[in-house]
Copies of this chain bind each other. A is one copy, B any other.
Amino acid sequence: MGILVVGSVGLDDIQAPAGSRTRILGGACTYFATAASLYDRVHMVAVIGNDFPHEHLEFLGSRNIDTAGLQVMEGKTFHWSGRYGPDLDDAETLDTQLNVFADFHPAIPEAWRDLPYVFLANIDPELQLEVLEQMRAPRLTALDSMNYWMGAKRQALTRAISLVDIVLLNESEVKLFAQEGNLVAAARRLLQLGPKALVIKRGEHGAMLMTHNGDLRGDCFAVPAYPLDRVVDPTGAGDTFAAGFMGYLARCGELSIGSLRRALVHGTVVASFTVQDFGIDRLRTLTATEIEARYTGLQHLTYLAPPADVTALERPFK
């Protein structure tokens, strides 16, 4: 088994009501790998500059992560600086410096081209396509993206979406991509491009899953966010949601509607831990036992007497 992740590794400055941090380890690939390594071995492909602190490499190496795919280039590491307002909604980006990331092309090590689980974090969809071309026969592929690429690289993104099994996007991104204000209608339109499942991340309002034709009797699942009485830093919530989701699927090895549902809950749980401290700090100490406890919590939070027939959950989704 094993998971390949391709995306950004960066050094972030974050300002939030609870405090601020400077040059902390960040980037979608980092968040994903750190969290997914709680489930299965993760193989990172990304680029860093020669200013990248050695302690961060040591940290990643101390997890169940293979960093042999990290390209080290002459120059500075990708840098993002953002600020959250009192309601902790979308971050305001103060500065983005692509640095070595501007010339990045993912080179998948030969031994990794047979990895079964592939996650394409939010990067230029042309690079996501380059990764897919290098993989031989992945069992499950998924991608994340963002509003910027929906304008700037719409054609490449549309192609990437049509090629992967699962698409993970925020609610507003689904509506923007489909150019449709109703979420259900937008989600159906996106599924028509080819992916087998769409995961809609809704932040503090939870997440939704849609498969097949998006029929409301069997093809949809919704889970609330894990209720938190304090949020510190939402950065990386989406990436670690993807990590819990893909990590669970890789560990469980089953590609059924039921396993997708459980994966959505794992994504929800892992993201709920991430936002309780700055950057990846909460993930450094997070344990499988803690994840299981919140999973049980969500079972209680959502429990309603089961419908008469739940056999549809055993269906494969791809």
Contact = CB atoms under 8 A, between A and B. Distances in A.
A87 interface: yes
Contacts of A229: 182, 184-185, 188
Contact of A300 (B87, B185, B218): B218
A231 to B, nearest CB: 7
A316 to B, nearest CB: 18
A265 B305 CA distance: 11
Nearest to A222: B224
A179 to B, nearest CB: 12
A133 B308 CA distance: 45
A313 B204 CA distance: 25
A183 B227 contact: yes
A304 B216 contact: no
A299 interface: yes
Given A222-B224, A222-B302, A204 B183 contact: yes
Q: How many copies does the complex hold?
A: 2
Contact-residue bracket for chain A: 35 or more
B310 A303 contact: yes
A181 to B, nearest CB: 6
Interface string A28-49: 0000000000000000000000
A221 interface: yes
A265 B182 contact: no
B204 A224 contact: no
A312 B202 CA distance: 29
Nearest to A313: B303
A304 B206 contact: no
A299 B303 contact: no
A296 B218 CA distance: 11
Contacts of A185: 229-230
A217 B303 CA distance: 12
A221 B302 contact: yes
Interface string A179-217: 001111100100000000000001011101000000011
A19 interface: no
A153 to B, nearest CB: 26
A262 B227 contact: no
A35 to B, nearest CB: 21
Given A297-B217, A299-B305, A302-B221, A181 B87 contact: yes
A114 to B, nearest CB: 33
B302 A298 contact: no
A298 to B, nearest CB: 7
A301 interface: yes
A55 to B, nearest CB: 33
Contact of A216 (B183, B202, B297, B313): B297
Contacts of A306: 299, 303, 306
A227 B222 contact: yes
9 contacts: A86-B181, A184-B227, A185-B229, A206-B206, A216-B301, A217-B297, A222-B301, A265-B304, A303-B310
